Amino acid sequence: MRHGVQWPLQPSAELAASEWFNILPPREKEVLCFVEIMSQQITSSEEKIQFVDISQSASRLPTSTKGSKVTPTILPGSKLWHVERGRLLLGIEMMSLQGLPAGQFKCNILETLSQKQCADMAGDMFATPCIMAVVISILTAIRFETESEAEEIQHVSRSMQQWCKS
């Protein structure tokens, strides 16, 4: 029985037939071949690789699993490959992962941007739940001039409601 990996790596027939795979440069194709080999060794469906950032080298390979319910950190220039779908995520999808769904904009500014520009914007931003965590932290740190804790909680609730309306 032979152990190890034979170079150069060869993609599976399914991967080799993918139009998405065929547009990638050789280094990124090799990273995906390596991910295929890694995936074959994983038996638990929760531990199967779901996303991989193929913009990184094979030695750094940021991945996430189905069970983790997260994605690798999105950076400008990231190329997130969805393993099950066998394709790269679109820039607009990366923005949604950051908590900024495209359908929520009042204007159509995203229609004027390329998918690459949207992906770079997703990499330059931080997840919108982080903003809410900071706002909640600020509001809980503020001491209102109130007679009781219940009255203070009412002030915090009103402040949150006003912030959410704006």
pLDDT digits (tens, 9 = 90+) for 135-145: 888 877 877 78
| Residue 166: pLDDT over 70 | no
CA distances to 61, 82, 85, 87, 126 from 49, rounded to whole Å, are 11, 9, 12, 14, 23
In a domain, 94, yes or no: no
Half-sphere exposure in the Cβ direction for 39 (13 Å, CA): 21
Task: Let me know if 26 is exposed, middle or buried by CB neighbors in 10 A (0-12, 13-18, 19+).
Answer: exposed
What is the pLDDT, as a whole number, of residue 107? 60
Indicate the residue among 64, 89, 114 that finishes a domain. 89
CA distances to 17, 28, 116, 119 from 36, rounded to whole Å, are 14, 13, 25, 24
- Best-predicted range by mean pLDDT (3-7, 87-91, 102-106, 116-120): 87-91
Indicate the residue among 89, 119, 145 that finishes a domain. 89
pTM of the model: 0.73
What is the pLDDT, as a whole number, of residue 14? 92
Residue 20 shares a structural domain with residue 78: yes
In a domain, 103, yes or no: no
Q: Which domain holds residue 144?
A: 129-165
Domain count, the chain: 2
